[in-house]
């Protein structure tokens, strides 16, 4: 997979088998009811941008500023942080999770979820 | 539990301190505090050293034992305390608990950091490793980026403008001008701040603290013995620490610092007072937005209203609720492990009336220090009271 390419992929979160609430990232004990059994379930197909920044002073392993980062909301109390694939982010815009290249850490390539605007 | 008093304080100048290494700084601040407490010839039972990055950037570990060796306080018990940017506050808390428990009678707490010898991008990356490894760090997040996202969501919700953020920076630079220990001695203007370089939109260079070297120290003893050492002892009447989920996105409300709220509630409860009883505060303005958010979340202002207090000059040195008379992290500087201790050093000087040109106008009896770790997921609050007032 090239560094520019992204593929569609389900964004998985954790659902507590005891209280039913969902969360991301993983906790080994439910933050709400303290139970310890979970199942992985798919978050929604789309999410909404609730805040963002364009980062000009980049950490080592990321090139080409600015890097747009944001927090998205999938509903049901599930939010996530990640790279936003646009130079023109707007609060409230709809995005979808995709999988692709994130950065290098210690010279090694890291891939993961990022968020791509949905064309209206 | 015994009451605990601060009988001595001391610090080094903060800044880019060429020719001084981490141990030089820790030793200098420690000896200054011991002198201030008149305990130079007394036996120190224990030392707690607040520091975050010695292993990462100074190639030195087990620094508490090294400090004992430098200042010859053998056989004092010695521990390093690491809690990110709240390492200093956590070290003071450990010292407080040790004296309160009755185990130790004379305790040295010192926080320090030597940062300016490291490359900025390496340093920024080490500091970013405080964030969640798989849900934050891997995406390229930095602390300024988290502060910028908080700034955007907070400003939008409460009608706060960039101008307000700049006003906080201007106030802190003005205070720093009067503080001989401050890293930055430069007056700035609102317009100058609003035109400074963009770090992480909407966060500009002048809305962030500098990278500094420095150390600060306090000496603690049981309150009923304090006057045997010196006059004007300051009692630690409240200590509160609280944690929150690590990821900013998982917080109940990303515009609220819940750990700050809970830590403050615990500290007020222990002290048996309310926010109205606080006369002056030092808060952790690693980014100027944090001065607004923290001063609200510790209860000094209603949520969403701190910027109005800034507009009216309430938080100035001569205002009704002076905040960061030292210049804060913005102007005094932010040697990470030193900060939480330096806040307490400043407040002791303010309570004693020894803050020189930056002495607050009101006669203060109680003071609050808010030291913030991670990006707000681990906050330590101390409340101090002048024992002679
Ligand atoms: Zn649960």
- What chain A residue is nearest to B203 in terms of C-alpha separation? A53
- Note whether residue A72 is domain-resident: yes
Give phi and psi for B170, each to the nearest 5.
Answer: -60, -45
pLDDT at A120 over 70: no
Q: How many domains does chain A have?
A: 1
- Note whether residue B54 is domain-resident: yes
B303 Cβ contact list (under 8 Å, min separation 6): B158, B256, B296, B297
pLDDT at B122 over 90: no
Give phi and psi for B334, each to the nearest 5.
Answer: -140, 70
Window 5-34 of A, Cβ < 8 Å to B: 23-25, 31
For residue A61, give both structure tokens: 């392993």
Chain B contact present for A59, CB below 8 A: yes
Domain limits for position B18: 4-118+211-228
pLDDT at residue B281, as a whole number: 98
- Note whether residue A48 is domain-resident: yes
Is B249 close to A31, i.e. CB distance below 8 A?
no
Q: Which of B136, B147, B149, B252 to mutate to test the interface with A (most CBs of A within 10 A)?
A: B149
Candidate from B134, B136, B149 with C-beta closest to A51: B149
Contacts of B121 in chain A (CB under 8 A): 59-60
How far does the centroid of ligand 1 lie from the alpha carbon of residue B254, in Å? Answer: 21
How far does the centroid of ligand 1 lie from the alpha carbon of residue A33, in Å? Answer: 4
How far does the centroid of ligand 1 lie from the alpha carbon of residue B378, in Å? Answer: 23
What band does B208 get if pLDDT is binned at 50, 70 and 90?
Answer: very high
Measured in angstroms, the CA of B56 and the nearest CA of chain A are apart by: 15
Is A69 close to B250, i.e. CB distance below 8 A?
no
Comparing B200 with A62, the larger pLDDT belongs to B200
Residue range B203-226: mean pLDDT, rounded: 98
Strand partners, B240: B381
- Note whether residue B152 is domain-resident: no
What band does B163 get if pLDDT is binned at 50, 70 and 90?
Answer: very high
Chain B contact present for A85, CB below 8 A: no
Chain A contact present for B196, CB below 8 A: no
Residue whose tokens read 């938080």: B315
Contacts of A91 in chain B (CB under 8 A): 152, 156
**Among A32-36, A58-62, B154-158, the least confident range:** A58-62
DSSP letters spanning B307-331: HHHHHTTTTSTTSSS-B-TT-HHHH
How many C-beta atoms surround the C-beta of residue A98 within 10 A? 17
Chain A contact present for B203, CB below 8 A: yes
If you count residue pairs, one on A and one on B, with CB atoms under 8 Å apart, how many are there?
A: 101
- What chain A residue is nearest to B126 in terms of C-alpha separation? A59
Instruction: Beginning with the edge strand found earlier in the chain, give each strand of the sheet holding B77-81 in spatial order.
Output: B77-81, B46-50, B107-113, B214-222, B4-11, B234-243, B378-386, B366-373, B280-283
Helix axes B143-158, B120-128, angle to 10 degrees: 70
Domain limits for position A73: 44-117
- What chain B residue is nearest to A60 in terms of C-alpha separation? B121
CATH of the domain at A48: 2.40.50
How far does the centroid of ligand 1 lie from the alpha carbon of residue A14, in Å? Answer: 10
pLDDT at residue B197, as a whole number: 97
Is A82 close to B139, i.e. CB distance below 8 A?
yes
Residue range B90-94: mean pLDDT, rounded: 98
Report the mean per-residue pLDDT for chain A.
94
Candidate from A67, A81, A114 with C-beta closest to B135: A81
pLDDT at residue B243, as a whole number: 98
- Note whether residue A23 is domain-resident: no
pLDDT at residue A64, as a whole number: 82
User: Whole-angstrom Cα distance, residue B320 to residue B361?
Assistant: 9
Candidate from B135, B200, B254 with C-beta closest to A55: B200
Residue whose tokens read 């975050």: B52
B206 Cβ contact list (under 8 Å, min separation 6): B166, B169, B188, B192, B193, B196
How far does the centroid of ligand 1 lie from the alpha carbon of residue A77, in Å? Answer: 13
Residue range B305-331: mean pLDDT, rounded: 98
Contacts of B136 in chain A (CB under 8 A): 81
How far does the centroid of ligand 1 lie from the alpha carbon of residue B281, in Å? Answer: 39
What band does A61 get if pLDDT is binned at 50, 70 and 90?
Answer: confident
Window 250-279 of B, Cβ < 8 Å to A: 250, 254
Rounded to 5°, the CA angle B141-B147-B192 comes to: 120
- Note whether residue B364 is domain-resident: no
Residue range A89-116: mean pLDDT, rounded: 95
Q: How many domains does chain B have?
A: 1
Is A81 close to B136, i.e. CB distance below 8 A?
yes
Residue range B216-226: mean pLDDT, rounded: 98
Candidate from B153, B198, B202 with C-beta closest to A50: B153
pLDDT at residue B121, as a whole number: 81
- Note whether residue B285 is domain-resident: no
pLDDT tens for each residue of B128-140:
999 999 999 999 9
- Note whether residue B27 is domain-resident: yes
- Note whether residue B250 is domain-resident: no
- Note whether residue B102 is domain-resident: yes
Strands (E), chain B: 4-11, 46-50, 77-81, 107-113, 198-201, 203-204, 214-222, 234-243, 280-283, 366-373, 378-386
Strands (E), chain A: 6-8, 12-16, 22-23, 38-42, 47-55, 67-75, 78-83, 94-105, 108-117
Residue range B280-290: mean pLDDT, rounded: 98
**pLDDT-above-90 percentage for chain B:** 98
- Note whether residue B60 is domain-resident: yes
User: Whole-angstrom Cα distance, residue B147 to residue B125?
Assistant: 15
pLDDT tens for each residue of B264-273:
999 999 999 9
CATH of the domain at B100: 3.40.47.10
Residue range B314-334: mean pLDDT, rounded: 98
pLDDT at B162 over 80: yes
- What chain A residue is nearest to B124 in terms of C-alpha separation? A59
pLDDT at B145 over 90: yes
Contacts of A114 in chain B (CB under 8 A): 139
B197 Cβ contact list (under 8 Å, min separation 6): A56, B204, B205
Residue whose tokens read 């993983």: A26
């Amino acid at each position: 997979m090239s560094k520019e390419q992204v593929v569609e992929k389900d964004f998985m979160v954790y659902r507590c088998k005891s209280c039913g609430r969902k969360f991301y990232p993983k906790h080994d004990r439910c933050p709400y009811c303290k139970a310890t059994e979970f199942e992985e379930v798919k978050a929604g197909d789309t999410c909404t941008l609730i805040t963002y920044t364009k980062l000009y002073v980049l950490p080592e392993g990321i090139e080409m500023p600015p890097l747009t980062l944001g927090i998205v909301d999938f509903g049901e109390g599930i939010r996530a942080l990640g790279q936003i694939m646009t130079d023109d982010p707007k609060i409230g815009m709809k995005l979808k999770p995709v999988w692709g290249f994130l950065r290098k850490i210690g010279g090694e390539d890291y891939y993961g979820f990022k968020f791509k605007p949905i064309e209206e | 539990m015994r009451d605990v008093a601060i009988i001595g304080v001391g610090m080094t100048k903060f800044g880019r301190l060429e020719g001084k290494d981490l141990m030089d700084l820790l030793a200098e601040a420690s000896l200054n505090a011991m002198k201030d407490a008149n305990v130079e010839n007394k036996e120190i039972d224990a030392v707690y050293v607040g520091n975050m990055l010695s292993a990462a950037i100074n190639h030195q570990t087990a620094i508490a034992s090294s400090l004992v060796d430098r200042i010859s306080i053998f056989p004092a018990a010695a521990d390093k305390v690491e809690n990110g940017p709240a390492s200093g506050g956590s070290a003071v808390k450990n010292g407080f608990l040790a004296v309160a428990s009755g185990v130790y009678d004379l305790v040295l707490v010192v926080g320090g950091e030597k940062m300016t010898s490291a490359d900025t991008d390496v340093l920024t990356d080490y500091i970013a490793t405080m964030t969640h490894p798989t849900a934050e760090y891997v995406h390229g997040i930095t602390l300024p980026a988290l502060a910028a996202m908080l700034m955007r969501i907070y400003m939008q919700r409460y009608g706060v403008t960039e101008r307000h953020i700049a006003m906080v920076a201007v106030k802190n630079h003005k205070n720093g001008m009067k503080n001989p220990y401050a890293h930055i001695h430069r007056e700035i203007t609102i317009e100058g701040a609003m035109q400074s370089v963009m770090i992480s939109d909407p966060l500009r260079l002048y809305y962030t603290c500098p990278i500094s070297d420095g150390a600060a120290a306090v000496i603690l003893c049981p309150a009923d013995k304090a006057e045997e050492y010196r006059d004007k002892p300051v009692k630690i009447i409240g200590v509160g620490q609280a944690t929150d989920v690590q990821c900013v996105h998982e917080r109940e409300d990303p515009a609220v610092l819940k750990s700050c709220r809970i830590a403050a509630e615990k500290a007020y409860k222990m002290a048996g007072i309310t926010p109205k009883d606080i006369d002056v505060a030092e808060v952790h303005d690693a980014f100027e937005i944090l001065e607004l958010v923290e001063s609200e979340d510790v209860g000094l202002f209603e949520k969403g209203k701190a910027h109005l207090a800034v507009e009216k000059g309430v938080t100035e040195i001569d205002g009704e609720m002076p905040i960061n008379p030292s210049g804060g992290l913005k102007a005094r500087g932010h040697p990470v492990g030193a900060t939480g201790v330096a806040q307490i050093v400043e407040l002791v000087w303010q309570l004693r009336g020894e803050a020189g040109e930056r002495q607050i106008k009101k006669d203060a009896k109680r003071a609050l220090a808010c030291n913030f770790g991670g990006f707000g997921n681990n906050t330590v609050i101390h409340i101090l009271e002048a024992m002679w007032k």
